[in-house]
Amino acid sequence: MTDYEKKLVAKLLDMASDRFSNDCCNDFFTENTPEARQLWKDMCLENNPNTVDAEDPPLYKDDMCFTDWWLMSYFAKKLLKECGE
């Protein structure tokens, strides 16, 4: 993926994040895996380096629950960082 493509995808993710954040339900469920738990920790620490929530991801039955718009915003920022922005 080129830097230009990453920037476009980041922009689309930001637009989608703005839209999704206005929905009444923002739950995004995924399997509770070590990778998902690490992603939760990374997102919490990127949002607030002093957080105490990083080790305690929200769970529903056997799945982890993320907020859809927060995932989109997080990945948009990661893509822009890869482009040096």
Evaluate if residue 6 carries a pLDDT over 80.
yes
Q: DSSP letter at 24?
A: S
Beta bridge mates, 30: 64
Provide the number of structural domains found in the chain.
1
What per-residue confidence (pLDDT) applies to 65? Answer: 93
Evaluate if residue 76 carries a pLDDT over 90.
yes
Question: How far is Cα 27 from Cα 4, in angstroms, rounded to an integer?
Answer: 30
What per-residue confidence (pLDDT) applies to 32? Answer: 94
In a 3-state reduction of DSSP, which class is residue 26? coil
What per-residue confidence (pLDDT) applies to 60? Answer: 84
Q: Which residue has the higher pLDDT, 48 or 81?
A: 81
Domain that holds residue 34: 3-82
